[in-house]
Homo-oligomer: A and B are copies of this chain.
C-alpha cells in the first residue's frame, strides 16, 4: 500500500493532460525533424498514449479501422514502425506490443518496467546501464548499435490486488 515515489506510468496523474502534452511534444519534434506525422500515424500515437500501456499491433489496427483507416495489418505495422523508427514509441518485445515513448524529445536508451498483471509499461531514462554494457562490449570486440532492457515484475497498483 505504499505510494509511488515518483511520477511514472504507475502513478496517478491527469491523463488527459498527459496525452495532450505528449501529442504536442510529438508534433513539435516531428516538425523539427521534417517528419510527416500523417493522420494514421498521429492516430496510432494517440491510441498508444490514451491506452497508456503497451498495445498489440492488432489492437491498434482494430481501433484504426473503427476510425476509418485501412483494415489490414500493414496499416498498423507501418504506422507503428514509423513511430518506433523516429522515437515516438517503443516496441516491447516481451509483449509483442508497442508503447508510446514518454520522452520523445530526449535521445535515450529505453528501460521498461513491465507489469505482468496489467501490462502497464513504465519507461525510465534513469538507469545507468550504458557504461557497463559498453565496457563489456569492448572486451568482446562487439560494436553496440542499440540496446533494450525489459524488466518484468509487478506495479504498485497490482501489488495490493488479489490478481
Contacts of A113 in B (CB 8 A): 136-137, 140, 142
Instruction: Say yes or no for A94: interface residue by CB 8 A criterion.
Output: yes
- Against B, the Cβ 8 Å flags (1 = close, 0 = not) of A129-150 are 1001100111111111111111
Does A2 make an interface contact (CB < 8 A)? yes
Chain B residues, Cβ within 8 Å of A8: 140
A66 within 8 A of B: no
Q: How many residues of A contact B (CB 8 A)?
A: 43
User: Please, which residue of chain B has its CB at the minimum distance from the CB of A4?
Assistant: B141
Which A positions have Cβ atoms within 8 angstroms of B? 2-6, 8, 10, 93-94, 111, 113, 115-116, 122, 124, 126-129, 132-133, 136-156, 159
